[in-house]
Homo-oligomer: A and B are copies of this chain.
Amino acid sequence: MDSKFLEGILNEVASGGMAPAEALEALKELPYQDIGVAKLDQHRNLRSGAAEVVFGQGKTPGQAAMIMERLAAANASIMCTRAGRDIFEAVSERLPEAVYHEQARIITVQRERPAIAGAPIAVVSAGTADLPVAEEAACTAEFYGSIVDRIYDVGVAGIHRLLDKTAQIRQADVVIAVAGMEGALASVIGGLVDRPVIAVPTSVGYGTGMGGVAALLAMLNSCSLGVSVMNIDNGFGAGYLAAMINRLAAGAGAL
């Protein structure tokens, strides 16, 4: 938590705009929340105004809006993931500049945007139902400055459509492969490219899909090289890691 934020709260208390108890609550709730708010710059104390990320799931629209508003006062860019439209509406009342990425369930406020001058990231997904996770990954990578090439609905059951995209996928520095059900997409892509493949299993499926465990196991056991795996449905983590590698490849320094 940088000092501007604390200062803002104290000023509000001083001016009577905020009760001390409310301030206490805000202070207790906001900083250092490793799930609620992904504190991305723990060891970059000298840089000010870094991007902050809020995990919207489990928060009421009011809570999320209050957190976003305060973070927006101290950071150039903020993002809220797993946010439904009701959260967005509450946020946009306080932050009219907020943008909603509906399929990704992401809200962003981004006054200055980093740009990575390099190859794009490819986000490849298997089926329609995998779209929310794929979009979460794509929007996150864009938020951190990557150019994203979306290649959707190319599940392995129709392998030729995937293969038709081979040249396009090979343009990318890093590929995010998003798939539920049997999760075979990551292996096939891993065999097609010689770049890192970040595999994201999704909870799409039923019965023995076991909420994404079948896809997860398939991805961990991929016989292709260069494939590593994220937690089930963790599109945000994949997008962040992809942007990190993308910056490395572009010589753009750390996130």
Interface residues on A, range: 35 or more
From A129, A158, A161, A211, name the one whose CB has the most chain B CB atoms within 10 angstroms.
Answer: A158
What residues on B are CB-neighbors of A240 within 8 Å?
225-226
Q: Is the CB of A38 within 8 A of B206?
A: no
Which of B32, B161, B180 meets A154, CB within 8 Å?
B32
A208, CB-defined interface residue at 8 Å: yes
Q: Is the CB of A241 within 8 A of B228?
A: yes
Q: Is the CB of A218 within 8 A of B163?
A: no
Q: Is the CB of B208 within 8 A of A221?
A: yes
Q: Is the CB of A182 within 8 A of B219?
A: yes
A156 to nearest B CB, angstroms? 5
A33, CB-defined interface residue at 8 Å: yes
CB-nearest residue of chain B to A179: B223
Q: Is the CB of A129 within 8 A of B35?
A: yes
Which of B35, B153, B237 meets A204, CB within 8 Å?
B35
Q: Is the CB of B228 within 8 A of A206?
A: no
A32 to B204, CA, bound (A): 17
A194 to nearest B CB, angstroms? 4
A57 to nearest B CB, angstroms? 8
Q: Which segment, of A4-12, A90-98, A243-251, faces chain B?
A: A243-251
Which of B41, B191, B201, B216 meets A42, CB within 8 Å?
B191
What residues on B are CB-neighbors of A219 within 8 Å?
182
Are A220 and B225 also in contact (CB < 8 A) when A192-B43, A232-B207, A248-B173 are?
Answer: no
Q: Is the CB of B128 within 8 A of A36?
A: yes
What residues on B are CB-neighbors of A232 within 8 Å?
206-208
Q: Map CB proximity to B onto A31-67 as digits: 1 under 8 Å, 0 otherwise.
A: 1111111111111100000000000001000000000
CB-nearest residue of chain B to A82: B206
A21, CB-defined interface residue at 8 Å: no
A42 to B160, CA, bound (A): 9
A212 to B255, CA, bound (A): 31
Q: Is the CB of A194 within 8 A of B254?
A: yes
What residues on B are CB-neighbors of A207 within 8 Å?
201, 203, 211-212, 216, 220-221, 231-234
Are A223 and B155 also in contact (CB < 8 A) when A36-B127, A195-B244 are?
Answer: yes
With A156-B156, A182-B223 known, 4 other A-B pairs at CB within 8 A are: A35-B181, A39-B158, A163-B163, A215-B221
7 cross-chain CB contacts under 8 A: A35-B181, A36-B129, A37-B128, A157-B222, A195-B244, A207-B211, A209-B221
